[in-house]
């Protein structure tokens, strides 16, 4: 199915490309980055619009993970897309990005078990495919607190979860986004269903991978019903152990996931090709080419990419787009810096999560008069 793919040169990283119905300025993507700087009510605010507008030279910006519902919340001050105020807040962001000629997709997020009663409506238990408590601590407004045993979702509740994605997809249209990315990575709800370390169900949503992928496929069908498949991507992280995730056979699991998603005709498959650990990115033993072979849309690679690695992977034909996380966070004008070979700003990791403009909108541009 990939015989039609045209071969690319390394410098195509900096040239216009087709992504779904769009011609984007380059193949450099801003990876989704949670920054915990939404205002009260989990509403995006003008400071957030400035941050994203600064990064509009990306071919595509993927927004920070954005809750599809109050139940989907797992951290303080993360934005949602389920209230009218949140939609209005996001409109500030999308307008600012479009005014600079950029494109922005919304990353749709439900955290599942990676939450805490203090973050849930009415102090409820977080929900999950199965009652399996993750190791580790939840980030709450009262500081770090141990994760609690989540409540296993009833099969009868799953259509309601799918509806949360459909409603959020509709809200993303109203908020002026160019498309959406379904977050099925990094140990959040849809990933909890995919991997057998967290999914112990014995109904139609558990057991063989054809069952474990069902909720993701139903959510994707709901979202593509709103947006059309060519404006929808899905993010997966086959070997990421973050949030206490594991699978007994990641290659078989995610080969199946890639093939199943391919049949929906999605714009892209976004793959975190490693594990996000405390110290940074660690590559894992996994053959990512097998995913690309099974997925007909664009393949977006992420995880520890430099300009050199990005060019090499385009040349080898193993990816169409490269998403940059920390480098984009710290360099608002990343495409021009990658093209010129740097220099790159020092990263202020203490200001990743929460706070004000410091370590957020104050990273300098290479050309002061940008
Ligand atoms: C501060 C920070 C916030 C992140 N937030 C998200 C997020 O909201 N959604 C997501 O899918 N990944 C998130 N990630 C993971 C990044 O998108 C990316 O996969 C990771 O940083 C590896 O890419 P890199 O080596 O280019 O930084 C986050 C990473 C960092 C460092």
Q: Which residue has its alpha carbon closest to ligand 1 atom 12?
A: 32
Give dist(CA 74, CA 140) in Å, integer: 8
Interval 50-61 mean pLDDT: 98
Digit-coded pLDDT (tens) for 153-162 = 999 999 999 9
pLDDT at 283: 62
Say whether 274 sits in a helix, a strand or coil. strand
Q: Which of 234, 22, 217 is nearest to 108 (CA)?
A: 234
Q: Which residue has its alpha carbon closest to ligand 1 atom 20?
A: 325
Residue 263 covered by a domain: yes
pLDDT at 284: 63
* Number of Cβ atoms within 10 Å of the Cβ of 100: 12
The CATH number covering residue 81 comes to 3.20.20.70
Residue 316 covered by a domain: no
Residue 34 covered by a domain: yes
DSSP-based helix, strand, coil % in the chain, nearest 5: 35, 20, 45
pLDDT at 369: 73
Residue 69 covered by a domain: yes
Residue 330 covered by a domain: no
State the average pLDDT for the chain: 96
**Which atom of ligand 1 lies at the shortest distance from residue 352's CA?**
1
Residue 205 covered by a domain: yes
Helix (H) or strand (E) holding 255: helix 250-262
- Residue to probe by mutation, ligand 1, list 182, 274, 325, 344, most atoms within 8 Å of CB: 325
- Residue to probe by mutation, ligand 1, list 29, 32, 38, 301, most atoms within 8 Å of CB: 32
Ligand 1 pocket residues where CB is under 6 Å: 31-34, 64-65, 107, 183, 185-186, 235, 272, 276, 281, 302-305, 324-327, 352
Q: Pairing between strand 137-140 and 143-146? A: antiparallel
User: Is it the case that residue 22 has pLDDT exceeding 70?
Assistant: yes
C-alpha of residue 31 to centroid of ligand 1, in Å: 6
C-alpha of residue 281 to centroid of ligand 1, in Å: 10
Provide the percentage of residues in the chain whose pLDDT is more than 70: 96
Interval 36-65 mean pLDDT: 98
The beta-strand segments (E) located in the chain are: 17-19, 22-24, 28-30, 60-67, 104-109, 127-128, 137-140, 143-146, 151-152, 179-183, 232-236, 268-272, 274-277, 280-283, 298-302, 321-324
Provide the percentage of residues in the chain whose pLDDT is more than 90: 94
Digit-coded pLDDT (tens) for 248-297 = 999 999 999 999 999 999 999 999 998 776 556 566 679 999 999 999 99
Give dist(CA 44, CA 264) in Å, integer: 31
Count the domains in the chain: 1
User: Is it the case that residue 3 has pLDDT exceeding 50?
Assistant: no
Digit-coded pLDDT (tens) for 326-364 = 999 999 999 999 999 999 999 999 999 999 999 999 999
Owning domain of residue 255? 16-298
Give dist(CA 182, CA 165) in Å, integer: 9
Residue 354 covered by a domain: no
- Residue pair 100/84 in contact (Cβ under 8 Å)? The answer is no
Say whether 87 sits in a helix, a strand or coil. helix
Interval 228-240 mean pLDDT: 97
Residue 286 covered by a domain: yes
- Point out the residues that are catalytic: 188
* Residue indicated by tokens 């797992």: 74
Digit-coded pLDDT (tens) for 162-203 = 999 999 999 999 999 999 999 999 999 999 999 999 999 999
pLDDT at 281: 57
Q: Which of 341, 331, 336 is nearest to 362 (CA)?
A: 331
C-alpha of residue 232 to centroid of ligand 1, in Å: 19
């Amino acid at each position: 199915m990939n015989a039609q793919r045209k071969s690319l040169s390394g410098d195509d990283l900096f040239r216009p490309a087709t992504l779904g119905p769009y011609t984007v300025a380059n193949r450099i993507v801003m990876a989704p980055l949670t920054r915990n700087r939404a205002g009260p009510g989990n509403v995006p605010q003008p400071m957030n619009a400035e941050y994203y507008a600064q990064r509009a030279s990306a071919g595509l910006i993927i927004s920070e993970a954005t809750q599809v519902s109050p139940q989907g919340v797992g951290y303080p001050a993360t934005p949602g897309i389920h209230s009218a105020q949140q939609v209005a807040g996001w409109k500030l962001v999308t307008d600012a990005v479009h005014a600079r000629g950029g494109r922005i997709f919304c990353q749709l997020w439900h955290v599942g078990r990676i939450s805490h009663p203090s973050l849930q409506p009415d102090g409820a238990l977080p929900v999950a495919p199965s009652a399996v408590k993750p190791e580790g601590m939840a980030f709450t407004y009262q500081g770090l607190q141990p994760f609690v045993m989540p409540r296993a979702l009833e099969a009868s509740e799953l259509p309601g979860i799918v509806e949360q994605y459909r409603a959020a997809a509709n809200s993303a249209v109203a908020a002026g986004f160019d498309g959406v990315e379904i977050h099925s990575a990094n140990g959040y709800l849809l990933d909890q269903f995919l991997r057998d370390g967290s999914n112990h169900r014995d109904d139609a949503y558990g057991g063989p991978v054809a069952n474990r992928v069902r909720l993701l496929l139903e959510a994707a069908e709901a979202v593509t019903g709103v947006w059309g498949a060519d404006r929808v991507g899905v993010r997966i992280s086959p070997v990421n152990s973050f949030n206490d995730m594991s699978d007994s056979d990641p290659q078989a699991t995610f080969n199946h996931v890639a093939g199943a998603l391919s049949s929906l005709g999605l714009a892209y498959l976004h793959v975190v090709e490693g594990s996000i650990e405390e110290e940074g990115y660690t590559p894992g033993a996994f053959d990512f080419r097998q995913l690309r072979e099974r997925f007909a849309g664009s393949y977006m690679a992420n995880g520890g990419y430099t300009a050199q690695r990005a060019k090499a992977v385009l040349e080898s034909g193993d990816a169409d787009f490269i998403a940059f996380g920390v480098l984009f966070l710290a360099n608002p004008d990343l495409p021009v810096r990658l093209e010129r070979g740097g220099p790159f700003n020092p990263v202020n990791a203490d200001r990743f999560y929460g706070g004000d403009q410091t370590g957020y909108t104050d990273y300098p541009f290479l050309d002061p008069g940008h």
